[in-house]
Amino acid sequence: MSHSKKDTLNDINIRFEKQKKELTESLKYASYIQKAILPTENQLKKYFPEHFLLYLPRDIVSGDFYWMARRNDRLFLAVADCTGHGVPGAFLSILGISVLNQIVGRSDCTSASGVLNTLREHIMKSLNQTGEESEQKDGIDMALCIIEPQKNILQFSGAFNPMYVIKNSNRLIEIPGDKMPIGVGAEEETSFTNHIVNIDEGDMIYLFSDGFADQFGGPKGKKFKYRPFRNLLLNINSMPMHSQKKELKESVEKWKGRIPQLDDILIFGMRYHK
Output the smallest distance, CB 39 to another protein, in A: 24
Output the smallest distance, CB 173 to another protein, in A: 24
- Alpha helices (runs of H) in the chain, residue ranges in sequence order: 3-37, 41-47, 86-104, 112-126, 226-236, 241-256
Quote the radius of gyration of the chain (alpha carbons, Å): 21
CA separation, residue 148 to residues 49, 210, 215 (Å): 16, 26, 34
Q: Which is nearer to another protein, 39 or 183 (CB)?
A: 183
> Per DSSP, which regions of 136-247 are E strands?
139-148, 153-159, 163-167, 171-175, 182-183, 195-198, 204-208, 216-217, 222-223
Output the smallest distance, CB 131 to another protein, in A: 4
Q: Using N-to-C axis directions, what is the helix angle for 86-104 and 3-37, rounded to 10°?
A: 20
Q: Which is nearer to another protein, 168 or 191 (CB)?
A: 191
Output the smallest distance, CB 101 to another protein, in A: 14
213, exposed or middle or buried, with CB in 10 Å at 0-12, 13-18, 19+?
Answer: middle
Question: Could you write out the DSSP letters of every residue in 233-258?
Answer: HHHHTTS-HHHHHHHHHHHHHHHHTT
Output the smallest distance, CB 267 to another protein, in A: 30
CA separation, residue 271 to residues 55, 80, 204, 268 (Å): 18, 20, 4, 10
Binding positions for another protein, rule: CB under 8 A: 117-118, 120-127, 129-131, 184, 188-191
Output the smallest distance, CB 207 to another protein, in A: 25
Amino acid identity, residue 179?
K
Are residues 86 and 59 in contact, defined by beta-carbon separation less than 8 angstroms?
yes
Q: Which is nearer to another protein, 106 or 274 (CB)?
A: 106
